[in-house]
Structure 1
Amino acid sequence: MELRHLRYFLAVAEEANFTRAAARVGIGQPPLSQQIQALEKELGTALFVRTPQGARLTDAGQAFLVEVRRVLVDVDRAAESARRAARGESGRLRLGFTASAAFNPIVPALIRDYRRARPAVELALEETNTAGLLEALASGRLEAAFIRYSVSTPSELELVKFPDEPMKIAVPAAHPLATRTRAPLSALVGEPFILFPRSFGNSLYDEILSACRQAGFSLAITQEAPQMSSIVNLVSAELGVSVVPESTAQVQLPGVRYLEIEGQVPMARLALASMPGQAQASPALQHLLALAQGQTARTP
């Protein structure tokens, strides 16, 4: 039994006439009659009573009609689901991000715009450090991720790069620098410094250490924290100072002051990363990448 047999049967049942049904499905009346006869033979029962006026369903035909309509509705729904997925209008998109990237206004704006444009696409979000995101991309667990990139980022990744973000100094409110709005990095000489482990994200780590070396000193890292929000909390607890992306200053914790950096300012670099060819297999990802590229074009 083929799908076309069901459509032929439905046409005859609804038209109650082989000639009209044949015109409806676009074949001749004799071939249609032969197809219905073959269907009846396969089922082992008559589906129609042939009359001079046309055709009338038997009891078996009435029962069969109920199920045929359900099956054809399901088939049409399945076909439309496939077409929607092929257009990137449904399905699932696995997207990762770093904790610090989540503070950058570009990231929530892109996710919001994507949800509005593709409400039927399920977004599965995962937060971890850049090293974990790179591993997830390579293994296929994630289709895309907002990462902090650097020269050591795997060259095979496809990156949509966003504007560089300046960094700021974070100090406890009781710190002597807290009364200022600006300070050079050299003002942090000898200060206990809070930073995440390099293995969690070498881009920001190396950028901060390089900027401090260029300012003439080496950092004294006395406390490590897993993510930017933890670093800010430890600064508030007066365990040390830090340098954080400008967007992290949105975390207005009592006891923390943010200062602009005088002189050469270290930059936090953000990109939307995906594996080569991944977008060709995922129309949902194609739309996200298009939105991201549009965002970079709009950002001065």
Structure 2
Amino acid sequence: MELRHIRYFLEVAREGNFTRAAARIGIGQPPLSQQIRDLETEIGTQLFHRVPHGAELTEAGTAFRDIVQHFPELAERAIRAARRAGRGEIGSIRVGFTASAAFSPSVPRVFRDFRRSYPGIEMTLEENNSARLLNALMDEQLDAVFLRQGAANSDAIKLHRLKSEPMLIVLPAGHPAAQSETVALETLRDDALILTPRQVGPTHFDIVVAACRAAGFEPVMGQSAPQLGSVINFVAAELGFSLVPAAMAQLQVNGVVYRKVAGDVPMAHLALAYRSNDISTVLRNFVSRTLNAHRAEDQESDISN
């Protein structure tokens, strides 16, 4: 039994006449009659009484109609759903991001634009540190993550660099160096350096420590902070200084100032990571939207500069 048999049957049932039903369907009356006979043979019972003025449903035909009358509509809905799914317009995606990535203007913009473009996609967001995000990505608990480039080092992970931004020095407001707009790192050699543990955010940790060593000193490691936001709060408590991506300057905390780095400025690189073997259309659309958004942002930045 094919869907066309159901359509033909329903059309004859509605019209009560083979000739009119054939005209509406767009085929000849003899082929339509043969299709109905084939259907009756397959079912094993007569569906229509052939009467002089047309055709009337038998009891079996009425019972059959009551069940199959919604089949064509359901088939159309199934086809539309399949096509939407094939285009990545329905489904779900789980996206993770680090605390510093959340402060990058492009990340919330990507979330907003994707939700507007694909309202049928259920998007779940999770903030966490780089190590936990990567574990969740590998365990297929997340589909894509925004993090600092360098955190992922595996052939199983595909990484796209999105944006580079300078690091800023975060100082207690009362620190003598806070009076300057630009601060040389070497002047902070005797101050404690506040960072998250390396196992939590290896890329950020390595960039900051490397910048201190490039400035000619081994940093004095101070209080370890559980997350980047805590780093800034610890600086406000005058426990030391730190370096953070420039976007973090949006986090205004009483008692801290953000200052530019004199000389060679360390850079933070934002990236989008996802599993190399993930072929989901929803993910492909998300990646494409993200890359296009960042290319557009770079063009706007070039024009403004």
TM-score (norm 1): 0.89
Q: Judging changes above 3 Å, is the alpha-carbon distance between structure 1 residues 9 and 178 closer, same or farther for their aligned structure 2 residues? A: same
Deviation at 1:200, TM superposition (A): 1.7
Is this contact kept in 2: 1:5–1:39, CA < 8 A? Answer: yes
- Contact 2:106 2:294 survives alignment (8 Å): no
Structure 2 counterpart of 1:290: 288
Conservation of the 8 A alpha-carbon contact between 2:146 and 2:271: yes
SS in structure 1 at match of 2:133: helix
Residue 165 (1) aligns with residue 153 (2): no
Greater mean deviation of Cα atoms: 131-140 or 35-44: 35-44
CA distance in 2, matches of 1:23, 1:201: 71
Q: Distance in 2 between matches of 1:173 and 1:58?
A: 90
1:220 paired residue number: 220
264-273 vs 156-165, greater mean Cα deviation: 156-165
Matches of 1:187 and 1:20, distance apart in 2: 94
For residues 85 and 152 of structure 2, what CA distance do their matches in structure 1 show?
35
> 1:231-290, CA deviations, whole angstroms, 9 ceiling, x for partnerless residues?
122222222221111001101111221111111111111111222242xx3222222222
Q: Are the counterparts in 2 of residues 164 and 267 from structure 1 also a CA contact under 8 Å?
A: yes
Q: Distance in 2 between matches of 1:159 and 1:46?
A: 63
**Separation of aligned partners in 1, 2:13 and 2:277:** 48
| Offset from partner CA, 1:88-144 (integer Å, 9 cap, x none) | 111111222112111111111111111111111111222222222223333333222
Distance change (3 Å), C-alpha of 1:255 and 1:161: same
For 1:138, the equivalent position in structure 2 comes to 138
Per mean C-alpha deviation after superposition, the further-off stretch among 97-106 and 154-163 is: 154-163
Q: CA deviation at 1:40?
A: 4.2
Q: TM-score scaled to structure 2, two decimals?
A: 0.87
1:125 matched to which residue of 2? 125
Say if 1:16 and 1:56, in contact at 8 Å, map to a contact too.
Answer: yes
8 Å CA contact 1:194, 1:221 repeated in 2: yes
Note the aligned Cα RMSD (angstroms). 2.4
Contact 1:170/1:241 (CA < 8 Å) preserved in 2? yes
1:175 matched to which residue of 2? 175
| Helix, strand or coil at the partner of 1:110 | helix
Moved more, 209-218 or 158-167: 158-167
How far apart in 2 are the matches of 1:20 and 1:139?
60
Q: Is the 8 A contact 1:100 1:227 kept in 2?
A: no
**CA shift in 2, pair 1:181/1:63, >3 Å:** farther
Aligned letter for 1:247?
Answer: A
Instruction: List aligned pairs for 1:207-286, cutoff 5 A.
Output: 207-278=207-278, 281-286=279-284
Tell me the secondary structure at the aligned position of residue 286 of structure 2.
Answer: helix
Take 1:67 and 1:204, find their aligned partners in 2: how far apart are those partners?
A: 63
Q: Contact 1:165–1:246 (CA<8 Å) still a contact in 2?
A: yes
Contact 1:170/1:232 (<8 A) preserved: yes
Q: Does 1:101 align with 2:101?
A: yes
* 8 Å contact from structure 2 (residues 168, 243) kept in 1: yes
Contact 1:147 1:270 in 2 (8 A): yes
Q: How far did 1:6 drift?
A: 1.9
Mark the CA change 1:224 to 1:69 in structure 2 (over 3 Å): closer, same or farther: farther
Give the aligned residue type for 1:217. F
Moved more, 36-45 or 173-182: 36-45
Structure 1: gaps of 5 or more residues: none
CA distance in 2, matches of 1:219, 1:15: 88
Q: Distance in 1 between matches of 2:290 and 2:160?
A: 7
Contact 1:101 1:146 in 2 (8 A): yes
How many residue pairs get matched?
Answer: 298
* Structure 2: stretches of 5+ with no match in the other structure: none
Equivalent residue, structure 2, for 1:149: 149
Distance apart, 1:20 and its partner CA: 3.5
Once the two structures are TM-superposed, the CA of residue 180 in structure 1 deviates from its matched residue by 2.7
1:37: Cα distance to partner? 3.8
Which piece of structure 1 moves more, 284-293 or 146-155?
146-155
The 5 A counterparts of 1:20-169 are: 20-25=20-25, 28-40=28-40, 46-58=46-58, 61-150=61-150, 153-169=153-169
